[in-house]
Amino acid sequence: MRVVIAEDDALLREGLALLLGGEGFEVAAAVPDPDAFMKAVAEHHPDVAVVDVRMPPTHTDEGIKAAVEARRLHPELAVLVLSAYVEQAFATELLAGGASGIGYLLKERVGRVGEFMTALERVAAGGTAIDPEVVAQLFTRRDGPLDRLTTRELEVLALMAEGLGNTAIAERLVVTEGAVHKHIRSIFAKLDLSPADRVDRRVAAVLHYLDA
| Amino acid identity, position 70 | A
- What is the β-pairing status of strands 2-6 and 26-31? parallel
- Looking at residue 4, its pLDDT comes to 98
Mapped onto helix, strand or coil, the DSSP state of residue 169 is helix
DSSP code for 61: S
CB neighbourhood size of 98 (10 A):
15
Task: List the one residue out of 118, 125, 131, 130 whose CA is nearest residue 101.
Answer: 125
Summarised one tens digit per residue, pLDDT across range 115-155 is 899 889 989 998 888 887 766 665 555 556 677 888 898 88
Q: Which of 107, 123, 124, 102 is nearest to 2 (CA)?
A: 124
pLDDT of residue 203: 67
Q: What is the pLDDT of residue 129?
A: 83
Does the predicted model carry a pTM greater than 0.75? no
Beta bridge partners of 52: 82
pLDDT at residue 148 in the model: 83
Query: What pLDDT is stored for residue 140 in this prediction?
Result: 56
Determine the pLDDT at residue 89. Answer: 66
Give the residue-averaged pLDDT of 10-19. 94
Output the average pLDDT for the chain: 85
Is 76 within 8 Å of 107 (Cβ atoms)? no
Which range is most confident: 79-83, 94-98, 201-205?
Answer: 79-83
How far is 142 from 46, CA to CA, in rounded Å? 38
